[in-house]
Structure formats: C-alpha cells, structure tokens
Amino acid sequence: MEQPSLLRRLVERVAEVAIRRALGYAAAADVSLPGVDVDELIGALAPRLASFDGVSYRCALCGRGPFTRRGLYLHMKRVHLEHVRELVEAELRRRIFGGLPRG
Ligand SMILES: [Zn+2]
C-alpha cells in the first residue's frame, strides 16, 4: 500500500487543527510549509466551519445543529472531513499560486 504523500499528510493535519480551532479548542498548527503562514490559514478557515451562539454549536458547512462541542467535532470528522481537506487544499493553492501571473 502506498504511503500518503507529504502534502496529503500536511493537508490532513491542517484540516484536523482547523476543525479543533473552529470549536474553540486550543490547537497549535504544528506543521509548516515554506512560504505559507499555516497558522493564518487555519485562522481564516476555522470560522467558516462552525458557529457558536453562546450555548450551542452549529455546523457552518451543512447548517445542522444544535450540537454540543464534542458532538459537532464528531459530526465534522464523520461527515465533512474530506470537504475540510478540500478547503485546506484550496486555501493552500490560493496562497502558493494565487499571487502568480497567469500565462
Ligand atoms: Zn455539517
């Protein structure tokens, strides 16, 4: 069985941290990529994953809720993990290639 690529593992790790950050868990971006501020990327992505009204959490990707924090964490992991990975990849691409001229 083929090992997941380095980029794939980085994306998976950033997705995990972004989900935790979205739920207010203290989660450090313990991965780095030259030229990309991974912590800033997570800070930009996390608010797009979940909302909190002071009492309960709601999934910002499908609108489901209310959840407890733990409940939404499990929901994100079970239902949206691949989607969150895609969002992380899109944000990485934008930061790496977004500033380059087309052509
Ligand atoms: Zn959802």
The single residue listed with the structure tokens 């977004």 is 98
Any domain includes 29: yes
Cα 93 to ligand 1 centre (Å): 24
What is the distance between the alpha carbons of residues 53 and 45, in angstroms, rounded to a whole number?
Answer: 18
Confidence (pLDDT) at 86: 96
Could you tell me the two tokens for 45?
Answer: 């992505």
Any domain includes 102: no
Cα 96 to ligand 1 centre (Å): 28
Domain count within the chain: 1
Any domain includes 77: yes
Confidence (pLDDT) at 102: 61
Any domain includes 72: yes
Confidence (pLDDT) at 65: 96
Kindly give, in sequence order, each residue whose CB lies less than 8 Å from that of residue 103, ignoring residues fewer than 6 positions away.
none
Any domain includes 12: yes
pTM for the structure as a whole:
0.88
Domain that holds residue 54: 6-96
Cα 30 to ligand 1 centre (Å): 26
Q: Which residues of the chain have pLDDT under 70?
A: 1, 99-103
Cα 2 to ligand 1 centre (Å): 30
Confidence (pLDDT) at 101: 62
Any domain includes 1: no
